[in-house]
A and B are shown apart, each in its own frame.
Chain A
């Protein structure tokens, strides 16, 4: 790739993140117009708090989509991690949290083995694992119900919904740290570049001497772990963990990645886009809530706006 093409690409990428931020500001302005005075420090704080679980869930999704895959089990993993954590609290909080995170690691690893070693299509593998996870969780939940109601420990509750200095959500520190790690890691480390390479051209990557299966295995495991973290944060945010906790976040996790400019075919994209994408979706939800329309209409609008955003994005990128 010549230097000029690379520069043009980078400019487009930088411009597209500016477009996204502009869209975010426009949505916030819309809220301010609908209800003057609504956009203030506590609103921003709320948006960040609710965007954090989605942003972390979409982080795992971004990693997988960059390699040309998709993970349809992220929501199931997040739910399972949160529920198992909450139900294990009587045996110790640390143990509960570790077990919750372990769910993500194990499921991610199995996804990775399926995709990387057995060459199962990511869509099928993660769909099937999603079924296995949800089925197992339902069985676990029924055996568990006799033993007591799941509780969200104080530390998770603080992580998910606490604030520092009145307005800065605690979860933002975790989300921000993960974001920096991902943005820097994807751009600046060999592992990050291998992900792009695998998504762009797996055959060329193999011929270059890369053991693709190891990279993919690590990548899906990371996605599982991030999903579990998202599940724990979400449990803290809503201060509850039930068997359908994160189910509604599956579509938004993919949508945030797509709106953020990561190609679903792999090989290009960034976490900074997904970060703003998650914020846009959360603000969009807030707009729809303010409109005071029935849930059904909200759902239709939400879907329609995602189609519109994705279409505009594809067209804009296609033109350049």
Chain B
């Protein structure tokens, strides 16, 4: 940008670039500012806010952050997956089954297998959509029943028994009390997403999401790209399920139910366009933290946490309406 300003004496190009940067990153920045404001408010409300509370927040936000990442990958490709929650539950109960009574090394190997299986399940969602040409929302509503049923078959009722060593991967804080493991585990998201986004395949996901016809005419394989997006979603959903295992220590067949809708909330708040092709991973992850912080703040304030759902709903409507008004103003 500095060189652009140097070579172009007129201030106009720089102004255009600023506008573009605001348009591209403004929303994400605003989400982080909102999170910062909420954190400041939390510390004001609860002056003894310390590493323990921060650790609790990161633990609560970890599964939701992965769920949001899963939904983001799929929505960017122009789809939507309403079976994210059941996929998480599937990973959660499979991991309990696989790790019960084993040591850390075995658990890690088992977790890798679970990641693979649930990634395939996610890809299967995409494959069914591509092959049948039935709209995403219908197929994934139906497969949400299928994956939830499979999770119930694997484990009929909530069962504790995730090995402690495995739990400690998320629950401890190896670096410093203010940098809990649950925060560090989020780096799984950029680890997969950054290289993918820079690759041809990642670009195809964005292309298919923003204009399917144009992508097709540019030689993008629509079917494979959409399946890939669903597979990436499946992978992150599996991470979310494993996060549930590590943070709760329990395998719960119905654990994921709430995460499907919360993940949609998080991506909307995080600035990902449901029309596809617009947005990134940074916003939704911060939004997951905001959504996890709200119930905690309500408890600190001594308010019935049941208001949390209400506030979440109102927050989403307000955010989307503000976004809509912004879009209208920009057009005129």
Contacts and interface: CB of A to CB of B under 8 A. Distances in A.
Interface of A: 70, 114, 118-121, 123-125, 127-136, 138-139, 142, 251, 254-255, 258, 264-265, 294-304, 306-307, 310-311, 314-315, 318
A264 B138 CA distance: 8
Interface of B: 80, 128, 131-135, 137-139, 141-146, 148-150, 152-153, 156, 261, 264-265, 268, 274-275, 304, 306-314, 316-317, 320-321, 324-325, 328
Contacts, number: 149
A120 B321 contact: yes
A124 B214 CA distance: 27
Contact of A251 (B142, B152, B311): B142
Contact of A264 (B135, B156, B316): B135
Given A139-B307, A303-B143, A306-B138, 11 more contacts: A118-B324, A119-B324, A124-B264, A132-B310, A138-B306, A258-B138, A294-B153, A296-B150, A296-B153, A299-B148, A318-B133
A131 B138 contact: no
A296 to B, nearest CB: 4
B265 to A, nearest CB: 7
15 contacts: A70-B137, A118-B324, A120-B320, A127-B264, A128-B265, A130-B261, A131-B313, A132-B310, A265-B135, A299-B145, A300-B145, A303-B143, A310-B134, A315-B132, A315-B133
B314 to A, nearest CB: 6
B152 A254 contact: no
A142 B303 CA distance: 13
Interface majority SS (helix, strand, loop, mixed), chain A? helix
**A-B pairs with the 8 shortest C-beta distances?**
A135-B309, A303-B145, A299-B149, A135-B310, A131-B313, A132-B313, A296-B152, A300-B149
Greatest chain A CB density within 10 A among B138, B265, B311 is at B138
A135 B132 contact: no
Given A254-B141, A302-B145, A307-B143, A124 B268 contact: yes
A135 B312 contact: yes
Find the residue from B132, B145, B306, B308 having the highest chain A CB count within 10 A. Answer: B145
A121 B128 CA distance: 25
A303 B313 contact: no
B310 A139 contact: yes
Contacts of A121: 274-275, 320
A132 B128 CA distance: 33
Nearest to A247: B257
A131 B142 contact: no
Contact of A307 (B132, B133, B328): B132
